[in-house]
A = this chain, B = another copy of it.
Amino acid sequence: MKEKIDVFDYSVKFTKDVMKGFLLTTKANGKVNSMVIGWGTIGIQWGKPICIVYVRTSRYTHKLLEENPEFTVNIPIDRLGEDVFRICGSLSGKDMDKIKEANLTLVEGECVSVPAIKEAPITLECKVIYKQTQVVEDYAEDIRKKYYCNGEGKAEGQQAVHTAFYGEIVNAYMIK
C-alpha cells in the first residue's frame, strides 16, 4: 500500500540522512538498477519541487538516465541493510542484476515508469527536467583532488565528473 506524503515534510530526513545512503533507481530497456547515493539536494526551481541527484558520467545509472530520464529516490526508514549497501554501493549493474542480488522488492511506480523499492519505502518519483554535467576545471582544488583525481586506491571510474540531474518530484509516498 502507498500512503501519499508531502515530500517537503521529509526535507529534514532527506538532508540529514542522505549521507547515510539512499537508493537511486532507474529503468531502461526492461532493466531496473539501484545505486547508493550519498549526495543530493531538495527544494524549488522554476516553481517546481525538485530533487537534484549527482551521478558520475561513468556510471551505469548515468546510461540508464540518458535512455529513460525518470528515476525514483528510495529512502530507508533507518538505514540500508548491509548487503544492499554493499551490492548497490560498490558493484555495477552493467554486469549483474543488483535488484535480485540484494533481494530488493520492486513496487510499480505510479507517475513514472521506474519502480519504487519496498525496503527503502519513502519514495520520490522524479522526471528529469534539466541536466547539466559539471566542469572539472571549475571545481575548487580540494574538491578536485579528493573526488576527481585518480589518487591511490581509486578506480579509474572515480575520476569521472558528475552530472546534476534535476528531477521534478511528480509524486511522493511511503510504502506500507
Contact = CB atoms under 8 A, between A and B. Distances in A.
- Copies of this chain in the oligomer: 2
A41 B45 contact: yes
Interface residues of A, number: 37
Contacts of A139: 130
Nearest to A18: B44
Nearest to A46: B143
Nearest to A168: B140
A19 interface: yes
Interface stretch (A4-12, A76-84, A93-101): A4-12
A126 interface: no
A103 to B, nearest CB: 27
Interface string A51-79: 01010000000000000000000000000
A131 B140 CA distance: 10
A152 interface: no
A173 interface: no
Interface of A: 8-9, 11-12, 14-16, 18-19, 38-47, 49-50, 52, 54, 129-132, 134-135, 138-140, 143, 146-147, 162, 164
Given A12-B12, A41-B52, A43-B52, 9 more contacts: A11-B16, A15-B44, A15-B49, A18-B43, A39-B46, A46-B143, A46-B146, A129-B140, A132-B164
